[in-house]
A = this chain, B = another copy of it.
Amino acid sequence: MNYQECIDACLKCMTDCEYCLEKMIGKNSHNDCPHCCRECLDICDLCAKALARGSKYSAQYCELCAEICEWCAEQCAAHDHEHCQKCAESCRKCAEECREVAMKIAA
């Protein structure tokens, strides 16, 4: 499948956001985490499916996904919990992969 690394990064980010959201409910947060995780998991899911089917909107999905992942990475990185740190890392990786795919498609 084309763009397999990006698909993998999206799906890892999706499951890490799902876990982070679940763990953060009921915990104190001084920023947008875990709202950002709810947001991020949805676009990662859609972006992975779009890439898997070779959607003609892949570049647009990747750009939006990268933007949301970057926001989520910032929010989660500011929290010390292990799940937040892991989530932030997955978000950054996903954003990178998505930016790269968006550029390749535009080229």
Contacts and interface: CB of A to CB of B under 8 A. Distances in A.
B15 A48 contact: yes
Contacts of A68: 57
Interface in A44-72: 45-46, 48-50, 52-57, 60-61, 64, 67-68
Given A18-B53, A45-B45, 14 more contacts: A1-B15, A15-B49, A15-B52, A19-B52, A22-B38, A22-B53, A25-B38, A38-B53, A39-B50, A39-B55, A39-B57, A60-B64, A61-B64, A64-B64
24 contacts: A1-B19, A11-B11, A11-B15, A14-B52, A15-B48, A15-B49, A18-B49, A18-B52, A19-B52, A19-B53, A21-B38, A22-B38, A22-B54, A25-B25, A25-B35, A26-B29, A38-B53, A39-B56, A42-B46, A43-B57, A45-B45, A57-B64, A61-B64, A64-B64
